[in-house]
Amino acid sequence: MGYYSLLTTCAFIHLLVFMPYAYSNYLENKAGQFFSSGHTNNWAVLVSLNKLGFWFNYRHVANTLSVYRSVKRLGIPDSHIVLMLADDMACNYRNPKPATVFSHKNMELNVYGDDVEVDYRGYEVTVENFLRVLTGRLPPSTPRSKRLLSDDRSNILIYLTGHGGNGFLKFQDSEEISNMELADAFEQMWQKRRYNELLFIIDTCQGASMYERFYSPNLMALASSQVGEDSLSHQPDLAIGVHLMDKYTFYLLEFLEEVHPASQANMNDLFKVCPQSQCVSTPGHRTDLFQRNPGSVLITDFFGSVRKVEITKDTINLTSSVKPPIQRSGSSDMTIESLTYVDQLPVAEIIHQKPKQKDWHPPDGFILGLWTLILLVFFQTYGIKHLKHIF
């Protein structure tokens, strides 16, 4: 019994000594896998392609703004979103609620909001501009807000909605982009190291035909309908007079509303969104070009911006020595004091400025009321027979 007791004691001591070491190695390996990922930032390109001025295309704008609202809620900032709306339904004269776009009937959810930043609007939404945004071939004068400044560590979500057919997608009802042109644009992005992984989602009739020609790696695609099928609208609203959304994007939005930044929902869950019993059309997806298992790809890898954080115990000095004042050449007496950030903008002076006096204007109807009063007094005093002396 003494021998077995000694053996048990030695095994217990061995376990106590080496377990922390093994656990430390496990954590280091997990951390190494975590930070060895090529994904460090997220971008989104969201496009509504409907023709300018067509009120019945209201749902396409609502589709795009719904996805825009979801990706912003999950952490992708406006600086990493390129929003292209071919029509401004919020300001359309037929909109009974100006400055709003609703995605649910009875006007329950306004997806336009107060902080929508539209980068391309109206006739700026063209095939040429769309391809230039993807490939980065923009004029030097193009502002940063209209650029897709991604790199080889960027995961990009591209969402398109509008009218399409077998192998093409309409832009403004005046031009088209083919599935081959789109495939070549993605290949240019890959060759120019503009993405790490790319998720393509399209809600249009015969949407699956648009990803048939894709051949670039690390690309996953979803569509609302198969070849030969229509993508149907959803939720007619009597007050607005049109359908508010398309079926596929409506159920996609419902799914995304349940996702939060720490959610473990993966792409396989996204594939189940809007089955044929709900969409009527048959949603499709393509994963053969994607290197990872879709079950291991989190929804937030594309729809969110969950940043990787590395914890360190090392002390980092963030302070820097103060630079001496800069002297002008040729003069030792004259000096230029270096301004701090606060001094460069006199905020205090701006805040305490007196408001500018506005020019006085008579209220609406004041002049008309004054003339009415003058005529009434004239009629009571002189009668209508003296009216000819006025004119």
Which CATH number covers residue 221? Answer: 3.40.50.1460
4 pLDDT exceeds 60? no
| Residue 175 is assigned to a structural domain of this protein | yes
| Residue 243 is assigned to a structural domain of this protein | yes
| Residue 51 is assigned to a structural domain of this protein | yes
Tens digits of residue pLDDT in 300-334 = 999 988 665 667 777 777 776 555 555 555 544 55
User: Minimal CA–CA distance to 56: which of 130, 160, 162?
Assistant: 162
Q: Is 260 among the residues known to form the active site? A: no
* Rounded CA separation 266/367 (Å): 67
In the numeric block, which tokens belong to residue 113? 């909001």
Q: What confidence score (pLDDT) does residue 343 get?
A: 47
Q: Tell me which amino acid residue 365 is.
A: G
The mean pLDDT value for 362-372 works out to 69
User: Minimal CA–CA distance to 160: which of 142, 186, 136?
Assistant: 186
Residue found by looking up tokens 């940043």 in the block: 307
| Residue 389 is assigned to a structural domain of this protein | no
97 pLDDT exceeds 90? no
Long-range residue pairs from 233-240, CB within 8 A, at least 24 positions apart, any chain: 233/59, 234/59, 235/104, 235/105, 236/105, 237/102, 237/105, 237/106, 237/107, 239/96, 239/107, 240/58, 240/95, 240/96, 240/97, 240/102, 240/107
Q: What confidence score (pLDDT) does residue 309 get?
A: 64
| Residue 364 is assigned to a structural domain of this protein | no
Q: Tell me which amino acid residue 289 is.
A: L
| Residue 10 is assigned to a structural domain of this protein | no
Which letter, b or e, does each residue of 64-86 get, where b requires 16 or more Cβ atoms within 10 Å of its Cβ?
bbbbbbbbbebebeeebbbbbbb
* Rounded CA separation 232/201 (Å): 16
Q: Is 205 among the residues known to form the active site? A: yes
pLDDT tier at 348, thresholds 50, 70, 90 = very low
| Residue 98 is assigned to a structural domain of this protein | yes
Tens digits of residue pLDDT in 208-221 = 999 999 999 999 99
Write down the catalytic residue from 80, 104, 163, 285.
163
State the average pLDDT for the chain. 80
204 pLDDT exceeds 80? yes
The mean pLDDT value for 375-386 works out to 69
Write down the catalytic residue from 60, 80, 104, 205.
205
User: Minimal CA–CA distance to 244: which of 58, 67, 90?
Assistant: 58
| Residue 223 is assigned to a structural domain of this protein | yes
233 pLDDT exceeds 60? yes
Please indicate, yes or no, whether the overall pTM of this predicted structure exceeds 0.75: no
Question: Looking at the 3D structure of the chain, how many domains does it have?
Answer: 1
Q: Which residue range is the domain that position 106 belongs to? A: 41-303
